[in-house]
Structure 1
Amino acid sequence: MRPTRLDPLFTPVTALKGIGPKTAKTLSSLLAGGKDREARISDLIFHVPSNVIDRRLRPGIAGSPEDTIVTLTLHVDAHRAPPRNSRAPYKVLAHDDSGEIELVFFHARRDYLEKLLPVGEERIVSGKVEWFNSRAQMVHPDHVVSAEEAEDLPLIEPVYPMTAGLSSKMMQKAMTTALPLVPSLPEWQDAAFVKANRFPPFKEALLGLHRPEDLSELADESASRKRLAYDEFLANQLALALVRNAMRKQGGTERKGTGLIRKKIIAALPYELTEGQKQALIEISQDLSAPARMLRLLQGDVGAGKTIVGLMAMAQVIEDGGQAALMAPTDILARQHYASMLPLCEAAGIRIAVLSGKDTAKTKREIGEKLESGEIDLIVGTHALFQSTVIFKNLGIAVVDEQHRFGVHQRLSLSSKGAHVDVLVMTATPIPRTLVLSYFGDMEVSRLTDKPKGRQPIQTVSVSLDRIGEIVERLRAAIANGKKIYWVCPLVEESEKIDLAAAEERFEDLQKALGPVVALVHGRMSADEKNAAMEAFKVGHARLLVATTVIEVGVDVPDATIIVIEHAERFGLAQLHQLRGRVGRGSEASSCVLLYKAPLGETATSRLNILRQTNDGFLIAEEDLKLRGEGELLGTKQSGLPGFKIANVQAHGDLMQAARDDARLIITTDPHLETVRGQALRHLLYLFSRDEAVKLLRAG
């Protein structure tokens, strides 16, 4: 049960005076992160300012600097209304002891302004001053108050991140009503740690950010910000530790395996495993052989050979009489995994099948029956494998590809598919260490840093879109030499339709220029259409494949050696690196052409430069974190992973490590959160929406 003193914070924002359904809807889209629920007061109080406006400067009219916010005490002299039907602005003339000023209003109502600024009276006015021909002007003052209302003028005004449909005044008003509802809460942090870091109490820190005296109080290194960042990290790390503890408590099954199937797979491989792969396999094998459940993250750069490591892990479980499931994020990827593993499975005697949401009811039923009877050893599929209708005879291991589309909830629901299911998660997005801690704190980590032998580095060049004609001519020559080419079309945020139109238009242009060797694949096609286009490209009937970003992960055509990425400036670094990894998968030298629209902004220039300089995905991920922040890097908005509201992973990385250590200590000494501190920590988990973890306490 949620502690009752938190109840005021869990009421919808419509409970606040002045917030109707329309404003609540806008606030929900801003604060509840696209989740299908109404924003609560807790969402509002954790929406902290990003800047402050300082209205304390009172230099008089003559001393007002250009384009700076000032507060002036003015005597109102006259109103000058524009002629009827004129577009000219309404002007109010005023003065103080140092000079004169015009207050300028567009689309103004005369009766309103005469009431706001009565001739002959004094008013305190705050806004930006501009100078024209030595005359001072203030366009649409932010505040106009009488001397009696002077205390209503906020001298330090916090500025909040906003969205269309909200005004600064609405947000200020909502905060003014919400903040007094924050209750005094028990201290959940370790007293010595709070003292050593000079952290204020939670409520004081929160009010410190919402009512700052100056900009420095909002900085990442301010005591209030650091205190709340640590609270947020600890809530996250504690939730992950509770998930891990719950999975551990259920115990595990020792799956040592005989080694026979793995030997057959190794013998059938056309290459030797890298040192990194061998080391990862030792770690995974030790986990599987232990009486505790495995929860391991396998990180490998594009083309580092994660799939074979995953297959060997599954083989160890199959040797022991268990079943294995490999889950991929898309149909295309699931079928590709199946195709690449099929010859190895046949050589090793593993019975493998593929299942996706697009299969017919009959196919699903037949595969379901074979899974339940144990006639299938290894099933490859999408999230369709999660459905309650899919029953395994003895699921022993789940290998999940592309972790960042797969949150903590799914990790837990996998457990229900078998007794003590071991979990190996694979990601091709190299993730900086601090992010591994924040998102996968409950997992052990193996890293594949070396590439298979014989792989050539990819040469990357950036070219302005003005030179697209030259690029097409070069591609014509490459096709004549038997090369295969990807052409990736630009990404338009929020609009699949525009993406599609861009891809179809480029496809038609290239087909006109290069002939029928050009094929097209995009997200709106049926699975059959996509597979047909990919197959034509694989076997060589098509030589140039125009695609939207559906090819971003896992598409494997080893003899494709050129990739052109159009409007490269619109993509993030990690995504560009993923796309580039579609080539350079064979022994031939490969190249990547980044087509950009000039002029480039500073960030886009940095991105393209980094890509030209290095092929190291881990280095690229660190740079991407600096440029973009963790939310976008891992796609937290779409995936249900925690996007931090107050903490900044880069600035507060040291606190992340401390929070992880603290969470582990708490779980060791107080696994049910029953001590005084444990009870206080329950408040923390609810406050930061980690209540899934509280349910585990009850279940355990």
Structure 2
Amino acid sequence: PLPELPPPPKPAEKPPPRPKLPPERRSLKDKVQYVRGVGPARARLLARMGIETVEDLLTHFPRRYEDRAHLKRLADLQHGEKATVRVMVMAKGATQELRPGLSVTRVPVTDGQFTAFLTWFNQPFREDQFKKGEILYAHGRVRRPRPFKIEIQNPEVERESEDPLQAARIVPIYPLTEGLQPIRMREIMRAALEDYSDLIPDVIPPEVRERYNLMPAKEAIWQVHFPDDMNKLREARRRLVFEEFLVQQLSVALCKREMKESAGIPFKVSDSFWEKFKKIVPFELTNAQRRVIEEILKDMASDKPMNRLLQGDVGSGKTVVAVAAMLVAVENGYQAAIMAPTEVLAEQHYFVIGEMLGKAGIKVTLLIGSLSQSEKERARAKVASGLAQVVIGTHALIQEGVEFHKLGLVVIDEQHRFGVIQRASLRQKGENPDVLVMTATPIPRTLALTVYGDLDISIIDEMPPGRKPVITYWFPARRRKEAYDFVRREVEKGRQAYIVCPVIEESKSEDVTRAVEWAQHLQKEVF
């Protein structure tokens, strides 16, 4: 007869808190290296994911959860499913070598009614890890090739005598990096919560929490990492989302108020502006472009700083709109600067905008990181003296040593590629210059009002005449040949094509190697 398992223990009260250093000797800004269980080596792994401090760690939330609270009987396990079981060790494990370099370790277990094996590959230390009679929680993939032969492969295992993190509960699944195991991440997170959660500030006033039925911040952080049940998890997420939106909206409101209270540059728009503009733009504007330019000129004529978001699809003519604003700034004796996210885009702007503004006698200068030191020095000198009326560049524009003579307009292209600090850094190069940020990313109106509430919004909703719409096709893998045949026909017409291979951050070198191999495959075997 199989041994009977004792009933599961009743949930015990939480153990008394571990002794901690006094609050004045602890901080959420402490290096993550000093959290129990981390150390220098694991700190380097965590740094790959942007986790440098205790605060970074506590806000590294699970990407999903597995409900392992529901235990299954061995007899009810189905082949291929993932399941959690409560079992007793029947005997010491045994290791069998299947072939050189491959061994399997099996530990026999029972739930009192059925038997099974916990199996691990190339982990012979598991033989001595468990003692006969120990009660374990095991979670893993079930292999059941025959009705009476059950294996649970590579399970996560915890003793019943321990406070379980991997089984018999809702288990957090974290984003990880190579070299950091899920069980270690949970142990580290538990240690950080035990030692630092009392320092978590609650930025929402008690009366607001009560009005909206929100749990305290400390409880929310605990429950989002190690939820008691799904209801508690939903409440915790609701609390954290509420706080995130509240803080974001308050910051937007403060920015907007600050802008309204600031004195801007009242640019004068001459009566001959449109006549001059038509001379430098070699095509007819769309109605949408004309409408948006009028909105921008009205902002620039105000004595308050312009802070406007310009949204339009690729090819809708955002650059021409920006040129109109630059022309006004230069006519008033001010400089204009446009910051692009890449050197390729900055150079493209330099040639296109330089050609247009050159017709009006406006001097345009390029300032990017790849220039030689002497070229950079000459460009900086032109910017500082005012000889450069329009400056086009990348992050190089916001570096120390770049001083503008009289900056009046800042244009930021592909604004989502820059952080708030980077955008503010360029703005601070002048005295409350007007700001125009441009994006090709479609932004729903409600989202734009929420995230960019401090910006006025202009939308170019019309494409220039003759511009063909972009058509997107999706081919499943089995139709890959059709896609390649299409590419071949287009290339034969003298057109170009590019193929993108994704690179995953955690294993970038390996994926780059795959991309090179794929390029060789396409060259030799496909095209």
TM-score, shorter chain, exceeding 0.5? yes
Return the letter of the residue paired with 2:223: G
Q: How does 1:37-56 map to 2 (within 5 A)?
A: 39-56=52-69
Give the 3-state SS of the residue equivalent to 2:127 in structure 1.
helix
- 1:330 corresponding residue in structure 2: 342
Give the 3-state SS of the residue equivalent to 1:82 in structure 2.
strand
Contiguous gaps of at least 5 residues in structure 2: 1-22
After superposition, the Cα gap between the structure-2 partners of 1:364 and 1:127, relative to the gap in structure 1 and judged at 3 Å, is: closer
Q: Does 1:138 align with 2:157?
A: no
TM-score, length basis structure 2 = 0.80
Tell me if structure 1 keeps the 8 A contact 2:265–2:305: yes
Q: What fraction of aligned residue pairs are identical, expressed as a percent?
A: 30
Give the 3-state SS of the residue equivalent to 1:353 in structure 2.
strand
2: CA distance, partners of 1:487 / 1:281: 35
Give the 3-state SS of the residue equivalent to 1:376 in structure 2.
coil
2: CA distance, partners of 1:476 / 1:260: 47
- 2:5 corresponding residue in structure 1: none
Return the letter of the residue paired with 2:314: V
After superposition, the Cα gap between the structure-2 partners of 1:17 and 1:504, relative to the gap in structure 1 and judged at 3 Å, is: closer
Tell me if structure 2 keeps the 8 A contact 1:490–1:502: no
CA RMSD of aligned residues (A): 3.6
After superposition, the Cα gap between the structure-2 partners of 1:445 and 1:84, relative to the gap in structure 1 and judged at 3 Å, is: closer
- 1:474 corresponding residue in structure 2: 489
Give the 3-state SS of the residue equivalent to 1:487 in structure 2.
coil
Q: Which of 251, 265, 271 is 1:253 aligned to?
A: 265
Q: Does 1:388 align with 2:403?
A: no
2: CA distance, partners of 1:346 / 1:83: 77
2: CA distance, partners of 1:71 / 1:53: 14
Tell me if structure 2 keeps the 8 A contact 1:287–1:294: yes
2: CA distance, partners of 1:356 / 1:81: 62
Encode CA deviations 1:647-700: one digit per residue, 9 max, x unaligned.
xxxxxxxxxxxxxxxxxxxxxxxxxxxxxxxxxxxxxxxxxxxxxxxxxxxxxx
Which deviates the most, 305-314 or 436-445?
Answer: 436-445
Contiguous gaps of at least 5 residues in structure 1: 33-38, 480-484, 514-700
- 2:501 corresponding residue in structure 1: 491
2: CA distance, partners of 1:500 / 1:131: 39
Return the letter of the residue paired with 2:248: N
Encode CA deviations 1:435-480: one digit per residue, 9 max, x unaligned.
545653432221111111232334555664424674466346624x
Give the 3-state SS of the residue equivalent to 2:171 in structure 1.
strand
Q: Does 1:155 align with 2:165?
A: no
- 1:201 corresponding residue in structure 2: 216
Residue 156 of structure 1 and its aligned partner are, at CA, apart by 0.7
Kindly tell me the number of residue pairs found equivalent between the two proteins.
Answer: 490
1: CA distance, partners of 2:98 / 2:521: 52
Residue 391 of structure 1 and its aligned partner are, at CA, apart by 2.9
Q: Which of 168, 176, 193 is 1:179 aligned to?
A: 193
After superposition, the Cα gap between the structure-2 partners of 1:7 and 1:315, relative to the gap in structure 1 and judged at 3 Å, is: farther
- 1:9 corresponding residue in structure 2: 28
Residue 314 of structure 1 and its aligned partner are, at CA, apart by 1.3
Tell me if structure 2 keeps the 8 A contact 1:260–1:319: no
After superposition, the Cα gap between the structure-2 partners of 1:461 and 1:264, relative to the gap in structure 1 and judged at 3 Å, is: same
Residue 307 of structure 1 and its aligned partner are, at CA, apart by 1.0
Which deviates the most, 346-355 or 501-510?
Answer: 501-510
Return the letter of the residue paired with 1:487: A
1: CA distance, partners of 2:336 / 2:354: 14
- 2:90 corresponding residue in structure 1: 76
2: CA distance, partners of 1:18 / 1:142: 19
2: CA distance, partners of 1:462 / 1:100: 49
Q: Does 1:455 align with 2:467?
A: yes
Return the letter of the residue paired with 2:37: G
Return the letter of the residue paired with 1:20: G
After superposition, the Cα gap between the structure-2 partners of 1:98 and 1:330, relative to the gap in structure 1 and judged at 3 Å, is: closer
Encode CA deviations 1:407-435: one digit per residue, 9 max, x unaligned.
21122212332222111111222234465
1: CA distance, partners of 2:184 / 2:453: 39
Which deviates the most, 158-167 or 17-26?
Answer: 158-167
- 1:341 corresponding residue in structure 2: 353
Encode CA deviations 1:16-51: one digit per residue, 9 max, x unaligned.
22221111111222243xxxxxx2111222222344
1: CA distance, partners of 2:222 / 2:66: 17
1: CA distance, partners of 2:268 / 2:347: 29
Encode CA deviations 1:116-136: one digit per residue, 9 max, x unaligned.
223xx3534433454332223
TM-score, length basis structure 1 = 0.62
Tell me if structure 1 keeps the 8 A contact 2:91–2:131: no
1: CA distance, partners of 2:343 / 2:303: 34
2: CA distance, partners of 1:462 / 1:115: 51
1: CA distance, partners of 2:472 / 2:164: 59
Residue 335 of structure 1 and its aligned partner are, at CA, apart by 3.1
2: CA distance, partners of 1:58 / 1:372: 71
Encode CA deviations 1:308-367: one digit per residue, 9 max, x unaligned.
110111112222221212222333333332332344324434333334333444544444
2: CA distance, partners of 1:117 / 1:467: 59
- 2:19 corresponding residue in structure 1: none
1: CA distance, partners of 2:515 / 2:89: 60
Q: Does 1:213 align with 2:228?
A: yes
Give the 3-state SS of the residue equivalent to 2:247 in structure 1.
helix
- 1:408 corresponding residue in structure 2: 420
- 2:13 corresponding residue in structure 1: none
Tell me if structure 2 keeps the 8 A contact 1:259–1:316: no
Give the 3-state SS of the residue equivalent to 2:497 in structure 1.
strand
2: CA distance, partners of 1:51 / 1:325: 44
Q: Does 1:30 align with 2:30?
A: no
Residue 203 of structure 1 and its aligned partner are, at CA, apart by 1.6
Encode CA deviations 1:626-658: one digit per residue, 9 max, x unaligned.
xxxxxxxxxxxxxxxxxxxxxxxxxxxxxxxxx
2: CA distance, partners of 1:440 / 1:426: 12
1: CA distance, partners of 2:345 / 2:263: 32
2: CA distance, partners of 1:297 / 1:6: 45
Question: Which structure is richer in relative contact order (CA contacts within 8 A, separation 6 or more)?
Answer: 1
Return the letter of the residue paired with 2:48: S
- 1:102 corresponding residue in structure 2: 117
Q: Which of 292, 304, 307 is 1:295 aligned to?
A: 307
Q: Which has the higher helix share?
A: 1
Give the 3-state SS of the residue equivalent to 1:303 in structure 2.
coil
Q: Which of 409, 425, 430 is 1:418 aligned to?
A: 430
Give the 3-state SS of the residue equivalent to 2:27 in structure 1.
helix
- 2:178 corresponding residue in structure 1: 164
Tell me if structure 1 keeps the 8 A contact 2:92–2:127: no
Residue 114 of structure 1 and its aligned partner are, at CA, apart by 4.6
Which deviates the most, 431-440 or 338-347?
Answer: 431-440
Q: Which of 238, 254, 260 is 2:250 aligned to?
A: 238
Residue 288 of structure 1 and its aligned partner are, at CA, apart by 1.2
After superposition, the Cα gap between the structure-2 partners of 1:509 and 1:269, relative to the gap in structure 1 and judged at 3 Å, is: farther
Return the letter of the residue paired with 2:281: L
Encode CA deviations 1:566-588: one digit per residue, 9 max, x unaligned.
xxxxxxxxxxxxxxxxxxxxxxx
Q: Does 1:20 align with 2:35?
A: no
